[in-house]
Structure 1
Amino acid sequence: MDLRRLSHVLALADVLHFARAAERVHLSQPAFSRSIQAIEADLGIRLFDRDVGDVRPTPAGEFVIGRARRLLFDARCLQRDVDLFRDSQLGDTAFGAGPFPAATLMPRALSELRRLYPKVALRVEESNWQQLLERLRAEDIEFFVADVRDLPQDPALEIRPLGTQPGFFYVRTAHPLAGRQCTVADAWQYGVAATKLPSVLSTELARVLGLPAGEQTVLALECDDIAILRAVALSTDTVLAATQTSVQADLDAGALLPLRIEGLPSLFSEMGVVSLRNRTPSPMAQNAIACIARVAGEVNARQGAIAIQTAGQG
């Protein structure tokens, strides 16, 4: 089986256009067409139907395309593992972080990694889990850390739990609702700022707010950058939905206060490290994952101690 020609099949399956697929693999269109014809001849089946201006996989083509993706992925993993074994080097690495891990785990983890491995280049992408999952599947990053509740049930993904970070609704000290009992509906009237809500939480909030069946809650401000959300909450009457760890400094300084709110669904971030199953992480990626897991454990323990202390004071 010619892996190069299989890669040409995948290129055509991705763009469904001979000229663009040929450009993607750096071949002339005639050479690319001959490559597709050759693998069809070798397999004895037609992989693509070709009409004027229209290319689409045949049923047999769909079968081959699915198997080819797995085969080429395994081939890349094998080559990468051989290179790592041969070179015995740490190597540079790239990974992703969702909004809350970026705010609560990455500063400490990255500082530690830079101290321990000053000659290693790290690239960290901050985004929501959907975009990070696309980057992971494209093999542009080795892993990402994010809230994993909405991740699809995919056997190709491996998830390492990192624990939960509890959250709440917070407002600035001069907010009209500060210090008084209120409801979720009261808070919602001022507008809620948050990262993209997990679907289960959005559904529960819709129920508490009494929205019609099937209607989802709408945030006043949705943003993947916690620093921006905090800045808005500190300067306006917008209510901030966030993990306690991500705003602990503002709570300690007295700049933000938790709302005394009735009927608020449980807010938390369920964090995990997400990677591709059967893809061996590079040595540096393994070190980064271990460091992030250690920091997460320390942060969770500290947050638990603060919760016990707060409960004791109450």
Structure 2
Amino acid sequence: MTLNNAIEVSHLTKKFNDKTAVDDISFNVKQGEVFGLLGPNGAGKTTTLRMITTLLKSTSGTVKIFGHDTASEGKLARSMFGLTGQYASVDEDISARENLMIFSRLNGLSRADSKKRTEELLEEFSLVNSADKSLKDFSGGMRRRLDLAVSLITRPALIFLDEPTTGLDPRTRTQMWDTIRKLVAQGSTIVLTTQYLDEADQLADRIAVIDHGKLVKIGTPSELKQQIGGTNLSFTVSDNQQVDSTVKLVTDKLGATVHLAGQRLSTNLAGVDQLSKLLATLQQDKISITDLTVQEPSLDDVFMNLTVGKN
């Protein structure tokens, strides 16, 4: 066990009859980071999460939570994390306050401690004004906040969030992002599965991309973006007579392939520092350009590049 690892996944595999859903996956999650699991539907990310959280028995491989093997020390490992699923596990027929009280008692808190923890969580998740309303009157965002509050009753150091903002409106999604950032600032480690690439880009320190049950890439959002081709530069040459000489100049200066559409050039930069040198050269050669755009690759580009058509 490396001291700064919250999770160690080693050669994790899950087979359902003759179908391999998760195929020999290994990775570590560091303490205090947000770790994103990305993949298309059916890629194996939810199966991976269920094995890590002991909801599903693996065919082979091991998982350690803060150094404790989930197979041989399951109860101890489970006591160290909270899990929030895609669908709220709370009781529809009672209030938020009653739900939090019941789950607090189920987690072993005394009646007095349960009451205290319930008040803290209602405050923390902005549910005080709705605490005694029936859950049937809750919006999707309020329901999701309550579900997250329930998973945090025991103040776990590790939190699993399985698609926490699915189906929420943009404003409520942003509120959930703020809540997740606050948890990290307080020292929590978070494992996040999401179908929203902007969410992973906003929140995750590192991302594992899973496809067809295999781990195809792991790295920071910036590293993953750089691996698929760097920064894209495009501009229009004002004078049609200078297009050919500009293509030659850009090719010589950057050593990169130039794509031409009429008078518009596009190419890739190995680094943004190349841009200032190129612009200085164009100015020196009295080549006028317009509509300059510099675009970093997005996680959408990464996702498409790594997962589409790789059957």
TM range (shorter): under 0.3
Q: Which has the higher contact order (CA 8 A, sep 6+)?
A: 1
By percentage of residues, which structure has more strand? Answer: 2
TM-score normalised according to structure 2 size: 0.25
By percentage of residues, which structure has more helix? Answer: 1
TM-score normalised according to structure 1 size: 0.25
